[in-house]
Amino acid sequence: MASVEVWPLIELTHRYFRGVDTRDEALLRQCLSPQIVADHTIVGHMVGIEGFLDVVRRLPPQIVTLQHYLSNHEVEVRGEEAMVRASLIAQHLVRWQGEEMLMPGGGRYTFDCRHVGDRWIIVRLRNDVTWGDPRLQVIFAPRK
């Protein structure tokens, strides 16, 4: 597969994470379908752009900042649809018991994408967390 076909999809995943890390709703709206379906091992199931953005807006207060790194991209293009898989390492700067500390986590992301107009968008995503600081489970536990 030619890099000219693959690069726009890899760049889409990078813009998506830049939007998550900076909580840039305008950028996330450019990357995601209005009908996005997202599944995340820790955060849960989200449907629709507003449901997704609501989770981003309401990140736990212990989270100071996020930084996601993607690598080992695999891209399959099937006409107007594509699938991107990538390995992920996420750094979470967290306030925990009066201190700020890094809590890493990692896993695999799968993005189902569609070409719409002149650009690619993400229509479905799945994050399978395979390792991480166990305190992240506590921080991201559903709030009452």
The domain limits of the chain are 3-139
How far is it, in rounded angstroms, from Cα 22 to Cα 127?
19
Q: Report whether 39 contacts 48 (CB < 8 A).
A: no
Q: Which amino acid is at 85?
A: R
Cβ neighbours for 65, distance < 8 A, ≥ 6 positions apart: 21, 92, 93
Taking only the tens of pLDDT, the chain with its 144 residues reads 567 789 999 999 999 999 999 999 999 999 999 999 999 998 899 999 999 999 999 999 999 999 999 999 999 999 999 999 999 999 999 999 999 999 999 999 999 999 999 999 999 999 999 999 999 989 988 765
Strands 119-132 and 99-116: antiparallel
Query: pTM for this structure?
Result: 0.93
Q: Which CATH class is domain 3-139?
A: alpha beta
